[in-house]
Structure 1
Amino acid sequence: MLRKTFLTFIFAILSSTIFAQSARQDSTETSFNPVSLDFTDNLLSFAGDHLHLRYRSGGTSKKGFDCSGFVRYCFNHFGMLLPHGSAAQGTLGSEILKDATIPGDLIFFKGHNSRSKRIGHVGIVTEVTDNYIKFIHSAWNGGIRYDYLESDYYRKRFMGIKRVIGIMDATSKKTGSKKK
């Protein structure tokens, strides 16, 4: 019995070592794998490095970002090409229910007019708990900052959540984009 337990233990260690080596080899042969937690952690860290940069209508650089320009800039840094425009970004990926949201998902809102039926704003989900969904975005009244879906302003304008991480990776590979 002891021998059988010992052999099972050794087999488990060898299997995990082989799997880890295989995963490392796969990640060096292809572009950055967005399905991994590392991608999401790196994306959110990179986005957070831009806190307090100013809002700029149509902006796509550190001189100033609009909401979709900021999201596009962050994803493009890791080789995922997204269009500029919150409505265009809203056509990508798979729709996700609020209770299935994870960090890295895109969150969409109406613009200033809460009665509109069109997407006018986008952010990147950074944290999800039972009580709130936190996201980072470029807001016209504060630049790059964190906000919460549960605040009155955003709750009234919420339109949906989309997952592009993992889905858009195949498109990025087909177009030949690489991690920068």
Structure 2
Amino acid sequence: MKNTLLILVLVISFSSCKSSKRVKSKRTTTTKIITKKNKKESNTITYKEPSNRASRNVTKADYIVDYAKQFEGVRYKWGGTTKSGMDCSGLIYESFNSSNITLPRISRDMAKKGVKIALKKVTKGDLLFFKTGNRRNSINHVGLIVDIRDNDIKFIHATTSKGVIISGLNESYWLKAFHEARRIL
């Protein structure tokens, strides 16, 4: 009787023990390979002067825009201010800082500086402010105007999905989210 009961308990306990094989889901994102830097390298950006400097009058706006363009392609990183990662206000902060112009670090605070201007009067080096996403009631994104061509305002900024890129204000998303333009210089 005890042997039968013991065997019954063992059979029940082993049969209730399931072994399931989990299938690992395939990753749909791509993986970047990060290599170690030499001791001589750093995360800071050194300004590279444009090669055509002698052929044009270089303004402070040109220097700021050229500095910002060096970050093009850098991945997005919240709070980032280096080549290893950049956010929108960090890009603007560092670009103006390269010309000894200190701005607040947050886009909504940047929007309190300079002079508000009409969109039809913007020029290279002016800032565009946006209200995007869930927080439509407050400014949460900023871009730097790099060019105006074909009736479209081109601006450099850092997006969470594509990192530092140049976009056009005529793109429906940015036009809808646009709030104001300001001149700092």
- 1:82 paired with 2:103, answer yes
Residues of 2 paired with 1:130 and 1:100: CA distance? 15
Quick check: which has more Rg, 1 or 2? 2
Q: What per-residue deviation string (whole Å, max 9, x for no partner) do you get for residues 101-126 of structure 1? A: 0010000001223x712101001011
Count of matched residue pairs: 129
Residue aligned with 2:125, SS: coil
Q: Report the RMSD for the aligned CA atoms in angstroms.
A: 1.5
Deviation at 1:57, TM superposition (A): 0.7
- 1:102 paired with 2:91, answer no
Correspondent of 1:132 among 124, 147, 152: 152
Residues of 2 paired with 1:65 and 1:49: CA distance? 12
- 1:70 paired with 2:91, answer yes
Residues of 2 paired with 1:47 and 1:60: CA distance? 11
Q: Which residue of 2 aligns with 1:161?
A: 181
Gaps of 5+ in 1: 1-35, 166-180
Greater share of helix residues, 1 or 2?
Answer: 1
Residue aligned with 2:59, SS: helix
Residues of 2 paired with 1:107 and 1:57: CA distance? 19
1:1-180 superposed matches below 5 A: 37-113=58-134, 116-129=136-149, 131-165=151-185
Residues of 2 paired with 1:112 and 1:149: CA distance? 17
What is the one-letter code of the residue matched to 2:98? Answer: H
Q: What per-residue deviation string (whole Å, max 9, x for no partner) do you get for residues 11-46 of structure 1? A: xxxxxxxxxxxxxxxxxxxxxxxxx85211111111
What is the one-letter code of the residue matched to 1:138? Answer: A
Identity of aligned residues (%): 35
Gaps of 5+ in 2: 1-56
TM-score of the aligned structures, taking structure 2 as reference length: 0.66
